[in-house]
Amino acid sequence: MEIFIDTADIEEIRDAAAMGVIDGVTTNPSLVAKTGRPFKDVLVDICEVVDGPISAEVVATDYDGIVTEARSLAAMHENIVVKVPLIAEGLKAVRTLTNEGIRTNVTLCFSVTQGLLAAKAGATYISPFIGRVDDISGSGMEVVEQLVTVYRNYGLGTKVLAASIRHPLHVVQASMIGADVATIPHKVIHQLLKHPLTDIGLERFLADAKKIPNG
């Protein structure tokens, strides 16, 4: 499974990239707004740090607007993948963009039927939001599982990108199901890394190392 980082914070991206654990980046307007910086400046910085797919979201909701914004984002860098909302106008735009060779990440997916249509429209990635379904007492992971099965059944090439991940168990479950990608917040990447026995073991080794006589 590929690991993307779900953030627009360049320091978080640098930290994860330095560990060598990320294959790409996803952003959304809320994450970019948190940085307090202009969208395109943020994207330029990210493209310098990560050599992999970088999702940048359009804010237009009509076909012409989405296509125009998408072309301009895609022209910024070869690694930009355009994030498009899962609405009818979005799917029309995805078909056009796919025909032009522009990669897309269809976002705000909450059902397998939505995801099936996104794949038919030619989406490069589909982003089922896990945490937001869990938040309303549903099972976000069930949608990921259904998408993986349906795409596999019919050889659809769209990659399942598990999004809205809130904790390490989401990552474990997504990987067991066979999601192609998980996009993970910086905090959760560090949670994946931590184990109390590693910390205790290291502490003991370092204490014992001090007892070794100098040779």
- Binding site residues, ligand G3P, CB under 6 A: 6, 26, 28, 129, 131-132, 163-164, 183
12 vs 214, which CB is nearer to ligand G3P? 12
Q: How far is the CB of 86 from ligand G3P (least distance, A)?
A: 12
Q: b vs e for 133-170, b when ≥16 Cβ sit within 10 Å of the residue's Cβ?
A: bbeeeeebbebbbbbbebbeeeebebbbbbbbbbbbeb
DSSP 213: P
Put residue 28 in one of left, alpha, beta given phi > 0 → left and psi -120 to 50 → alpha: beta
H or E stretch including 131?
Answer: helix 130-134
Residue closer to ligand G3P (CB basis): 146 or 164: 164
- For residue 83, indicate whether it is catalytic: yes
Q: How many CA atoms lie within 13 A of 123 on its CB side?
A: 30
Cβ-closest residue to ligand G3P?
A: 164
- Closest-CA residue to 53 (of 121, 116, 127, 125): 125
Q: How many helices (H) does the chain have, and how many strands (E)?
A: 11, 8
Q: How many CA atoms lie within 13 A of 143 on its CB side?
A: 27
Residue whose CB is less far from ligand G3P, 7 or 146: 7
**131 vs 153, which CB is nearer to ligand G3P?**
131
Catalytic machinery residues: 83
